Amino acid sequence: MAVVSVLAVASAMLAQFAAVATALGMPCSSSTVANCGPWGYCDGSVGRCICAPGLQGDDCRKAHFAPCRLHPDGEMACNTFTGLLSCDCRQACERRHGSKSRWPHGLCWRYADGAAANTSDVPDDLSRVEFRSTQWPPLGKCGRPDPPKSCQSGKRTLRRVRERILGGTPVPNRHCPLACSHRGTCLRADVPNRPKEAVERYPLQTLANRPSGRVGCICHAGYTGAGCEVSDPSQCFNACAGHGACVGRFCLCDRGWQGVDCSLRAAAPIVADGGWRSPTRAALEQAGLGARRYAPTFVYPLPSDVTLEFVYQRDLARRGQYYANLMYLEALLARQDSVVADPEEAALFFVPVATMQMAGNLWHPYDFLASTVHRLQHEYPYWNRSGGRDHVFFLTTDRGSCWKPWELQPAMVVSYLGFPASEAYFGFEERLRWPRQGPNGRNNAYDTRKNSPAMGLDCYRPAQDSVVPVDALIGASEEEKLPKPAAPYACNTARKKLMFMGGSMQNMGRREYSQGVRQAIKEQHSNESGFVLGGQFTLDDLRDSLFCLAPSGWGWGWRLTLCVITQSIPVIIQPNVTQPFEELLPYDSFSLRYEKEDIPRLPQLLRAVPKETICRMQRALAAHYRALLWQTPWGVGHPSAYDLTQVLLCRRAKALRRALVAEGKHPAAYLARHDVECPESLAAASISFPPNPVRKT
């Protein structure tokens, strides 16, 4: 039958869809949001309520983190809590989000008699409370029954809190404008000349209708206004696409919209063959979605407490080395060139977990990832249809996909480290040579017991996984120094230094750090006049060097990207490691590769590179650096790491399609039933990086 307009059938089929949804056990439908409460929205793609951080349940009314609210019905905050929070809140955040959750909060309050605080709103009688710093509760040796005398209690007097820390007296929120919207701490600024540290650490909002120096709000991160009533949409993914409210860095979608950034239209179902189904792609495009270019991808609307709560409430940076997963997700949703609202039309399923952030991380996320897979297996039908083989996880931890549980083995993993063996071989690559000696049990892997993932599960599977670059965030001043695409480029074969390697040259004496490369170079060439080894550095230091060492670190290393964007020729010494986008980019045209056995002759090898080769490679670097950047300094019309990632994922999807058809397994999987139209090469995607012409100097 012909596709019926979504809008035409919406009202007629509302009752029927609700009845079917109820029969399937789904607590909400895309046609109503009433049963998701004020702190959730209905994602019609899976028929579930997606709740704001700190709330759970089918109707988003089951609260956790109660002490982290300023009112029982208010908003939860952990690291976004800027003002004075209760110690019960800080401990709850620390238990949930890791030990680093205590450090952003230099001060907390608790009842002196040990009673639990139900909220973080201070009581009227401050004599009932005591104040504690980050030393409480004690950690490490200070938490022993017989702590050293040097340990501190972390207790702070009210006078010190008023005069030196807060620069005022905390009072219940009802005394402030709009009760600070229950999104901040109310402070009576009754201390003359608030200390500079207090002004910077606990900024008071401007009072529009009250004299300065009375009471004011210390708003949570992302809120402003005299009563913390103004939300900053830039704190949320793609500013919620204009279809939702940014609440605690979480997008609370308007009716009819869904997705992490509320950019996906929640269309009503279409009736066909006596039942209901989601609208076709054509109907969605008529609803305003962008034209598809890459493999159709569905983003799981997993509950925030198991996925992006760590980003919403803990990690305020959201850019930098560990954030390629978020850069990919933001571009995927903003560009609308592959994302689909209907999981039935998805070739790939993106699971938006965030396993590592700069401010607190899961580190070895085995249990977290295993529980996530368990949830996918038991609460959604899509993992079981393909055995998880069409699911995509980004793992940006130091050892990348080395730190995955056995449960994740079927899935596609995108990471920074392309090490094609188990973690216990990292730094001991000679044991991979014939005859193989087996993994090394004496290393810093998390678990070296027999049959553990570190001993038996390959980190990177070339035909299944993908290696992408880190998010090497560079500022506006550095963007101005980047070569303009296709613009004439002036070669510089007479830079000041021969080779530069800033940063650490060793770490805790561990052999496996940097696979032994940095240590060997420092030991053998510390007196080489043309080499700069170790120490702090800037990108201009790299621009002053002909060559740039690009080794690994504890796992992946990000100096490759720094070398490329500064046109300092990368010297890659990473045994057995596949580089980012290596199967797509001509690395031989802009980098040099050596083995550890070449380290003794490294100065001679570099000095032997002809000037013509140096100039050719510099021009190639000036053309290809955009491929390793997630940001788009020249606009989204120019290719970036996002585009190359999509090409790799298309390649993996097509390979999986062939495998599923040949095996005859998982016949219900989308790729077992459908071809996928997407580019699996740069040429097919119309992506090219022509060398910049030589500029005469």
Bigger pLDDT: 212 vs 176: 176
Strand 412-415, strand 244-247: pairing: unpaired
**Residues facing 532 on adjacent strands:** 500
Bigger pLDDT: 271 vs 409: 409
Residue 46 in any domain: the answer is: no
pLDDT of the residue at 385: 96
The token pair that represents 411 in the structure block: 């899935």
Range from 37-46, 83-92, 311-320, 620-629 that averages highest in pLDDT: 620-629
pLDDT beyond 50 at 132: yes
pLDDT of the residue at 207: 52
Do residues 581 and 627 touch, judged by C-beta distance below 8 A? yes
Full 3-state SS string of 511-570: CCHHHHHHHHHHHHHCCCCCEEECECCCHHHHHCEEEEEECCCCCCCCHHHHHHHCCCEE
Q: What is the CATH number of the domain that holds 538?
A: 3.40.50.2000
How many CB atoms neighbour CB 140 within 10 A? 8
Whole-angstrom Cα distance, residue 287 to residue 608?
A: 61
Instruction: Decide which of 612, 628, 644 is a domain's last residue.
Output: 628
Mean pLDDT of the 591-603 span? 97
pLDDT of the residue at 388: 97
Q: Which of 18, 642, 46, 543 is nearest to 328 (CA)?
A: 642
Residue 329 in any domain: the answer is: no
**Residues facing 593 on adjacent strands:** 572
Mean pLDDT of the 599-624 span? 96
pLDDT category, 280, cuts 50, 70, 90? very low
Range from 6-10, 352-356, 544-548 that averages highest in pLDDT: 544-548
pLDDT category, 99, cuts 50, 70, 90? low
Number of domains in the chain: 2
pLDDT beyond 60 at 220: yes
- Determine what percent of the chain is predicted with pLDDT higher than 70: 88
Residue 352 in any domain: the answer is: no
Whole-angstrom Cα distance, residue 285 to residue 167?
A: 55
| Mean per-residue pLDDT of the chain | 85
Instruction: Decide which of 230, 254, 276 is a domain's last residue.
Output: 230
Residue 577 in any domain: the answer is: yes
pLDDT category, 283, cuts 50, 70, 90? very low
The phi and psi torsions of 106 (rounded to 5 degrees) equal -70, -15
Whole-angstrom Cα distance, residue 354 to residue 54?
A: 17
Do residues 327 and 334 touch, judged by C-beta distance below 8 A? no
Q: Which of the 8 DSSP states describes residue 503? A: B
Whole-angstrom Cα distance, residue 38 to residue 51?
A: 9
pLDDT of the residue at 289: 43
pLDDT category, 314, cuts 50, 70, 90? low
pLDDT beyond 70 at 248: yes
pLDDT beyond 60 at 361: no
- What are all long-range contacts of 277-283, with beta carbons under 8 Å and residues at least 24 apart? 277/344, 278/44, 278/45, 278/341, 278/342, 278/344, 278/345, 279/3, 279/6, 279/342, 280/3, 280/345, 281/340, 281/342, 281/345, 282/3, 283/3, 283/5, 283/6
pLDDT beyond 70 at 658: yes
Q: 16-25, 198-207, 488-497 — which is least confidently predicted? A: 16-25
pLDDT category, 7, cuts 50, 70, 90? very low
Q: What is the pLDDT of residues 395-445, one digit of tens each?
A: 998 888 999 999 999 999 999 999 999 998 999 888 888 777 777 777 777
Q: 21-25, 320-324, 525-529, 632-636 — which is least confidently predicted? A: 21-25
Residue 175 in any domain: the answer is: yes
Mean pLDDT of the 107-112 span? 92
pLDDT of the residue at 34: 56
Residue 656 in any domain: the answer is: no
Mean pLDDT of the 84-113 span? 84
Measured between alpha carbons, how far apart are the two ends of the chain, in Å?
67
Identity of the amino acid at 35: N
Residue keyed to tokens 């029954």: 145
Q: Which of the 8 DSSP states describes residue 165? A: I
pLDDT of the residue at 213: 62
How far is CA 138 from each of CA 117, 120, 129, 141, rounded to the nearest angstrom?
20, 21, 19, 8
Bigger pLDDT: 391 vs 204: 391
Q: 148-152, 536-540, 622-626 — which is least confidently predicted? A: 148-152
Ordered DSSP codes for 70-103 = SSTTS---STT--S-EEHHHHHHHHHHH-GGGGT
Residue 446 in any domain: the answer is: no
Mean pLDDT of the 575-598 span? 97
Mean pLDDT of the 19-26 span? 38
Mean pLDDT of the 172-181 span? 94
Q: Which of the 8 DSSP states describes residue 337? A: S
Mean pLDDT of the 327-354 span? 93
Whole-angstrom Cα distance, residue 413 to residue 409?
A: 9
Cα 193 to chain centroid, rounded? 41
How far is CA 517 from each of CA 99, 101, 434, 578, rounded to the nearest angstrom?
32, 35, 22, 16
Identity of the amino acid at 210: R
Counting every residue, how long is the chain?
697
pLDDT beyond 50 at 322: yes
Structural domain boundaries enclosing 527:
476-628
Ordered DSSP codes for 362-415 = -SS-HHHHHHHHHHHHHH-SHHHHHTTTTEEEEE-STTGGGS--GGGTTSEEEE
pLDDT beyond 60 at 10: no
Q: 9-23, 351-365, 472-486, 494-508 — which is least confidently predicted? A: 9-23
Residue 310 in any domain: the answer is: no
The token pair that represents 544 in the structure block: 């002053």
Do residues 554 and 617 touch, judged by C-beta distance below 8 A? no
pLDDT of the residue at 23: 35
Q: Which of 638, 346, 376 is nearest to 482 (CA)?
A: 638
pLDDT of the residue at 556: 92
Whole-angstrom Cα distance, residue 329 to residue 646?
A: 11
pLDDT category, 277, cuts 50, 70, 90? very low
Q: What is the pLDDT of residues 508-552, one digit of tens each?
A: 778 889 999 999 999 999 999 999 999 999 999 999 999 999 999
Instruction: Decide which of 179, 208, 230 is a domain's last residue.
Output: 230
